[in-house]
Chains A and B, each alone.
Chain A
């Protein structure tokens, strides 16, 4: 079955620690995205990537980093510089440039110990 997978489902971070959230898709989509969702809020864009080895900052990129070494994978690292990382993180993909419909993975819940 084609789709988007995210792991882990829950992730715990200690103070000062970097953690990486995984996002994999087998839809053959060119574009991938990371969003953050806080309680009572809509989603906000962190980073996006149109093609391999290229990515752009979204609205709230500070304290986060990404890589896009493979078309299927777009991992997100939450660095120690992100002072309020507790949130629900959603990965999405679309077929590519000018393709507006995005499909979402199941999400990762990040909590700070």
Chain B
């Protein structure tokens, strides 16, 4: 079974600064997908970014980028130019493919943006 670990229950960053959220995972699979989801106070889960394990290039979506280290089983999220609207819970998630089974989630990191 896969496990996803987010070791930072809470992070705080000044507005306009850069912050990195950590995620590690454990799997015996070689082909899989990794995700970061954002959950604002409305509690709707919003997809931030995804990474295919077979791709060496790190995914980027505007101010959001990842540092994917497959050998280390690490998948961190970097948020540049932090904005007040980035304040939310951030969840790292894993999907191994091979069927329409579900995502495995970490416990989340609460990101606070200081104005």
Contact = CB atoms under 8 A, between A and B. Distances in A.
B91 A42 contact: yes
Contacts, number: 66
A105 B4 CA distance: 23
Nearest to B52: A100
Contact of B44 (A40, A42, A45, A106): A106
Interface string B27-38: 000000101010
Contacts of A103: 47
B100 A43 contact: no
Contacts of B101: 45, 48, 56, 58
B102 A45 contact: yes
Interface in A82-97: 88, 90, 92, 94, 96-97
A50 interface: yes
Interface size class on chain B is: 20 to 34
B108 to A, nearest CB: 6
B44 A97 contact: no
B89 to A, nearest CB: 9
A35 interface: yes
Interface of B: 4, 33, 35, 37, 42-47, 50, 91, 93, 95, 97-103, 105-108
Interface of A: 30-31, 33, 35, 40-45, 48-50, 56, 58-59, 88, 90, 92, 94, 96-107
Top-6 shortest CB links A-B? A42-B105, A45-B102, A104-B45, A31-B100, A50-B100, A100-B33
